[in-house]
C-alpha cells in the first residue's frame, strides 16, 4: 500500500447487513481519514476495572462461544460471550502488569501472556514462568495447577493440539530461550498436566548471550506438528548480524521451529525433511505470530521490530516448506486464522503509518487493512459467527508509555480507557 494515500472519511460503526439475532453491547465510533472497508466494526465492549494498558494474546473457543483475553492490566483472563457480545468475568490469580521505575511495562515479568483452550480446560502463561491450568467449568476455584517451567521470566505464548493432549509453550525472555512440551488434559474431567520435555535450539542457530527468543507456536492438524516463530536466527543469510548493538542493527531474518509432539527433540538443529522437525529458515521475515490455515499452510506475523528490512508477511507450507511473501502488511504480533470465512487476521498495531487489522485470504493475498489503535497486537476470531475480536489500547494520555498514541482507540471505544472492538467479516 502506498504511504501517500489520503483516505476519505469512513464511519466505522455502520451496522448494515448484520444478522438481527446478534445482540451488540454498543456501537463503534468514527475514525476520521480512513478508507471504507468490508470488514466492519460492529460494537465496542468495555472491560471493567483498569484501562487496557497492557494485554497479550487472545483466543476464541467457538464451541463454547467464548472469547478470552490475557489482560495484564487487570491481572486475569477476561471472558466475553461471543453470542451475546457481553463481558462475563475475569479469571484472576495472575501476576499482572509489572511497572518499571520509568513508568513502562516490564513485559518480561508480566502476565497473563499466552492463552489457549480445549473443552473445559484453559491454559495460560504467567509472568512468573508458570503455566496456569484452569477449569472453565469451576467458577469457585478455577485454577487447578500452576506448573513452574524453571525460568525467571514469563511463560509466554502457547498452543494446544486438536485433541487437547499436548501443549507447547515458549519462554521467550530466557537466555537461552526455550520451549516446554506438556501433556494436556484432553477431554478429561480432572487435571493431570505435566512437563514432557524442555526444548532448547542449538547454539549455532540461536546463540546464547544474544537475547534471542521464541514466540508464538501454532498447531497444524494437517501435518501434526507445532510451528513456533523464531524472530531472529544466526546465519540467515550467511554473515548477517543477529545481535542488536548500539552501532549495528539486526540484519538476520527469522525462522520457525517445527516440533513433533510424539517425538520431541530436546536440542533441535536445522530442519530434517525426513523427520519433518527442526528449524526452517524464513525469507524476509522476522516472525512473532503464527497461525495454521488450510492445507498445511501456516501464516507468520513478520515485523520490522525484529528486522527493519522486513516489509512483508509470510506463509509457509508445512508439507513442502514452500514460502510465499505477502506484501502490504507487516509489524504483526498475534495472527489468527478463521476457518469460518477462510481468512487470516493480523494484529498489526505497530504498522506505520496506519496501525491496522490485516485481512488476508487463504490464497495468500492481502484483502484489506482496517485501522485500529496503536500497539493493538492481539486478535482472535469466532469461526461459528465470523466475528473478529481486537483489543484496543487505552490512550497514552491516560496510562502512559506504550499505549495508544493515535485517536483510533478513543474513536472506536467512545472513551480513552480501551475496549474490545468486534468486527464482522466482510465475506
Query: What pLDDT, on a 0 to 100 scale, did the predictor assign at position 21?
Result: 34
Give the contacts of 175 (CB within 8 A, at least 6 positions apart).
Answer: 208, 209, 210, 211, 212
How much is the mean pLDDT over the chain?
A: 92
* Mean of pLDDT values over 210-214: 96
Query: What pLDDT, on a 0 to 100 scale, did the predictor assign at position 350?
Result: 93
| Structural domains counted in the chain | 1
What separation in angstroms does the CA of 40 have from each of 36, 241, 383?
A: 9, 42, 16
Query: What pLDDT, on a 0 to 100 scale, did the predictor assign at position 34?
Result: 77
Query: What pLDDT, on a 0 to 100 scale, did the predictor assign at position 8?
Result: 29
- On whether residue 316 sits in a domain, the answer given is yes
At residue 108, what are phi and psi to the nearest 5 degrees?
A: -70, -20
3-state secondary structure of 179: strand
Is the pLDDT assigned to residue 15 strictly greater than 50? no
**For residue 181, what is its C-alpha cell?**
512440551
* Mean of pLDDT values over 330-336: 96
13 pLDDT band (50/70/90 cuts)? very low
Give the contacts of 354 (CB within 8 A, at least 6 positions apart).
Answer: 34, 369, 371
What is the length of the chain?
427
17 pLDDT band (50/70/90 cuts)? very low
Mode of pairing for the β-strands spanning 194-199 and 178-183: antiparallel
- On whether residue 364 sits in a domain, the answer given is no
- On whether residue 56 sits in a domain, the answer given is no
- On whether residue 126 sits in a domain, the answer given is no
* Mean of pLDDT values over 384-406: 95
160 pLDDT band (50/70/90 cuts)? very high
* Mean of pLDDT values over 395-423: 95
- On whether residue 104 sits in a domain, the answer given is no
- C-beta of residue 214 within 8 angstroms of C-beta of residue 228: yes
Query: What pLDDT, on a 0 to 100 scale, did the predictor assign at position 22?
Result: 37
Query: What pLDDT, on a 0 to 100 scale, did the predictor assign at position 26?
Result: 58
Query: What pLDDT, on a 0 to 100 scale, did the predictor assign at position 270?
Result: 98
pLDDT, one tens digit per residue, over 54-83 is: 999 999 999 999 999 999 999 999 999 999
Query: What pLDDT, on a 0 to 100 scale, did the predictor assign at position 35?
Result: 76
Query: What pLDDT, on a 0 to 100 scale, did the predictor assign at position 120?
Result: 98
222 pLDDT band (50/70/90 cuts)? very high
250 pLDDT band (50/70/90 cuts)? very high
To 5 degrees, how large is the angle CA 28–CA 29–CA 32?
A: 130
- On whether residue 285 sits in a domain, the answer given is yes
- On whether residue 266 sits in a domain, the answer given is yes
Query: What pLDDT, on a 0 to 100 scale, did the predictor assign at position 32?
Result: 72
Query: What pLDDT, on a 0 to 100 scale, did the predictor assign at position 20?
Result: 33
Percent of the chain surpassing pLDDT 70: 94
Structural domain span for residue 249:
202-333
- On whether residue 84 sits in a domain, the answer given is no
Amino acid at each position: 500500500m502506498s504511504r501517500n494515500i489520503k483516505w476519505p472519511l469512513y464511519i466505522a460503526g455502520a451496522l448494515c447487513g448484520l444478522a438481527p439475532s446478534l445482540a451488540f453491547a454498543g456501537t463503534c465510533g468514527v475514525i476520521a481519514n480512513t478508507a471504507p472497508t468490508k470488514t466492519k466494526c460492529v460494537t465496542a465492549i468495555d472491560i471493567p476495572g483498569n484501562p487496557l494498558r497492557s494485554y497479550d494474546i487472545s483466543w476464541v473457543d467457538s464451541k463454547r462461544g467464548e472469547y478470552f483475553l490475557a489482560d495484564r492490566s487487570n491481572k486475569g483472563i477476561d471472558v466475553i460471550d461471543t453470542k451475546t457480545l457481553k463481558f462475563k468475568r475475569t479469571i484472576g490469580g495472575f501476576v499482572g502488569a509489572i511497572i518499571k521505575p520509568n513508568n513502562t511495562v516490564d513485559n518480561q515479568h508480566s502476565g497473563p501472556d499466552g492463552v489457549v483452550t480445549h473443552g473445559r480446560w484453559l491454559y495460560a502463561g504467567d509472568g512468573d514462568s508458570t503455566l496456569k491450568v484452569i477449569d472453565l467449568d469451576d467458577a469457585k476455584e478455577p485454577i487447578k495447577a500452576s506448573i513452574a517451567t524453571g525460568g525467571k521470566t514469563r511463560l509466554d505464548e502457547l498452543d494446544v493440539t486438536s485433541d487437547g493432549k499436548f501443549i507447547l509453550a515458549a519462554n521467550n525472555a530466557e537466555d537461552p530461550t526455550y520451549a516446554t512440551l506438556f501433556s494436556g488434559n484432553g477431554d478429561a474431567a480432572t487435571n493431570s498436566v505435566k512437563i514432557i520435555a524442555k526444548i532448547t535450539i542449538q547454539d549455532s542457530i540461536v546463540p546464547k548471550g544474544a537475547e534471542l527468543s521464541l514466540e508464538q507456536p501454532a498447531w497444524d492438524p494437517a501435518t501434526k506438528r507445532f510451528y513456533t516463530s523464531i524472530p531472529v536466527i544466526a546465519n540467515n543469510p550467511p554473515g548477517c548480524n543477529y545481535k542488536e548493538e548500539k552501532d549495528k542493527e539486526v540484519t538476520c531474518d527469522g525462522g520457525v521451529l517445527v516440533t513433533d509432539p510424539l517425538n520431541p527433540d530436546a536440542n533441535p538443529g536445522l530442519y530434517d525433511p525426513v523427520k519433518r522437525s527442526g528449524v526452517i529458515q524464513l525469507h524476509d521475515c522476522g516472525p512473532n505470530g503464527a497461525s495454521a490455515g488450510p492445507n498445511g499452510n501456516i501464516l507468520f506475523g513478520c515485523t520490522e521490530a525484529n528486522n527493519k528490512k522486513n516489509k512483508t508477511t509470510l506463509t509457509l507450507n508445512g508439507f513442502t516448506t514452500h514460502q510465499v511473501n505477502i506484501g502490504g502488511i507487516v509489524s504483526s504480533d498475534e495472527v489468527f486464522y478463521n476457518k469460518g470465512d477462510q481468512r487470516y487476521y493480523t494484529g498489526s498495531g505497530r504498522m506505520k503509518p496506519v496501525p491496522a487489522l490485516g485481512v488476508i485470504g487463504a490464497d495468500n493475498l492481502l484483502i484489506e487493512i482496517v485501522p485500529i489503535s496503536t500497539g493493538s497486537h492481539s486478535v482472535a476470531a469466532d469461526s461459528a459467527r465470523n466475528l473478529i475480536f481486537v483489543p484496543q489500547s487505552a490512550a497514552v494520555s491516560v496510562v502512559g508509555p506504550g499505549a495508544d498514541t493515535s485517536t483510533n482507540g478513543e474513536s472506536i471505544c467512545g472513551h480513552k480507557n480501551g475496549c474490545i472492538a468486534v468486527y464482522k467479516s466482510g465475506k
